[in-house]
Structure 1
Amino acid sequence: MPEDAEDVMGVITQQIEARFHMPVDDLRRAVTAAPQANTEATSVVHWYGLLTEAQGALNTAEDALVTALGTVPGELDDPAMELAHQVNAAVGVRDGRAMVVKYLLDPNAPGKRGPGAWRGSPAVSRGPALPTTPPRLPGTPGVSVARGAVR
């Protein structure tokens, strides 16, 4: 595993272990035994598994690219360029999944604060953000328009 991959996976693993106060392997076993006990832990373990798969795919793509680059001196041929694109795509997938795990671990992330933050949550009843009566021009009497009336 490349050093930067160990850094990404290592940092996220440490964050998970700090958040749940247990090693990742123990957390996986706990989630497997009782997935409904803690939905947050279940989501984190699921996405961490996807992240681990993405890291494995990235490692495989990088190894294939290194092998191709070792045999092709000079300019990259089409197969080597395709491998380079695969590595680039694998990095994007890995980084995206890492961002999801980091989001799931952050209790202060946008959308996670307070009631009604997610769609489907009971919304907090508030008054209108702006006045709901139409403005009047100076010197004109207020005219009431019935709801649904067409002008």
Structure 2
Amino acid sequence: MAIECTHCGVKLADKAVFCHWCKTPVPRVIEQDPTKRLRWLKLWSYVFLPLFCVLFGLLAVQNQMPWLWASLAALFSGVTALGLHQHKRWGWTLNWAMVTAVGLTLAGVLAFDDSGRFVNKLFLTVPMMGFLWFWPNYVYWRKRSVLFT
């Protein structure tokens, strides 16, 4: 028995998670499984990734970072945000690289001391970021893999 999208009225398959036309989540799917909350997905997709895109663009314009690297990072952030917004599987896959890049960047930043010198704290920061950043993101995004087609 087919169901209808609550937003646009298009007929959907029984097991549909999102409307294939307007990308609106099917409410009963999210209500049935409370572990599939979407707050982090929305915050990451609509705030952090666009913010990274703007930040890297500004770094390129101000010559604070090599233009090519900053431009590629800005483009990568924007494309990942677009893929997540459209609930595409390739966006979900690119997101793993983005989560890894942010985690490694945070680990690298934490490995510098107050005078700006790189110290041998990397052996502490990488496991710490694994526990505090990678593991929660791994659990969150794996549970939501069904949302991306």
TM-score, with normalisation over the residues of structure 1?
Answer: 0.32
Q: Which fold has the larger relative contact order, with Cα–Cα distance below 8 Å and residues 6 or more apart in sequence?
A: 1
Higher alpha-carbon Rg: 1
